[in-house]
Amino acid sequence: IVTALAPKRLSGRKVLITAGPTFEPIDPVRGITNLSSGKMGYAIARAAREAGAEVTLISGPTGLAAPHGVNRIKVVTAQQMHDAVMARVAGHQVFIGVAAVADWRVAEVSAQKIKKKDGHDVPQLKFEQNPDILAAVAALPSPPYCVGFAAESEELLRHGEEKRRRKRTPLLVGNIGPQTFGLDDNELILFDEQGQTHFPRADKQSLARSLIDEIARRLGG
Ligand code: CTP
Ligand code: CA
Interface predicted TM-score of the whole assembly (ipTM), two decimals: 0.99
Catalytic residues: 34
CA 184–ligand 1 middle distance (angstroms): 22
Q: Which of 43-47, 153-157, 188-192 has the lowest mean pLDDT?
A: 153-157
Residue 212: its pLDDT value, please? Answer: 98
Residue of 59, 127, 128, 134 to test ligand 1 pocket, by largest number of atoms within 8 Å of CB: 134
Is 131 part of any known ligand binding site? yes
Atom of ligand 1 nearest to the CA of 136: 7
209 — pLDDT class (breaks 50, 70, 90): very high
Helices (H), 119-181: 133-138, 156-167
- By the 8 A CB rule, do 49 and 130 touch? no
Q: What is the CA radius of gyration of the chain?
A: 18
Give the ligand with the smallest distance to the CA of 77: 1
Is 67 part of any known ligand binding site? no
- By the 8 A CB rule, do 219 and 145 touch? yes
Q: Is 40 in the pocket of ligand 1 (CB under 6 A)?
A: no
79/58 Cα distance (integer angstroms): 12
Residue 96: its pLDDT value, please? Answer: 98
How confident is the model over 23-33, as pLDDT tens digits? 999 999 999 99
Residue 211: its pLDDT value, please? Answer: 97
Residue 57: its pLDDT value, please? Answer: 99
Atom of ligand 1 nearest to the CA of 137: 7
120 — pLDDT class (breaks 50, 70, 90): confident
Is 113 part of any known ligand binding site? yes
Q: Is 191 in the pocket of ligand 1 (CB under 6 A)?
A: no
Q: Is 99 in the pocket of ligand 1 (CB under 6 A)?
A: yes
Contacts by residues 60-68 (CB-CB < 8 Å, ≥ 24 positions apart) = 60/18, 60/19, 60/20, 60/21, 60/22, 60/23, 60/36, 60/99, 60/100, 61/20, 61/21, 61/22, 61/23, 61/33, 62/19, 62/20, 62/21, 62/37, 62/38, 64/20, 64/37, 64/38, 64/39, 67/42
Dmax over Cα atoms in the chain, in whole Å? 75
Mean pLDDT value of segment 74-81: 98
8/11 Cα distance (integer angstroms): 5
Is 134 part of any known ligand binding site? yes
Global pTM value: 0.95
CA 26–ligand 1 middle distance (angstroms): 21
57/25 Cα distance (integer angstroms): 22
Mean pLDDT value of segment 33-62: 97
Instruction: Give the count of alpha carbons within 13 A of 147, CB side only.
Output: 26
100 — pLDDT class (breaks 50, 70, 90): very high
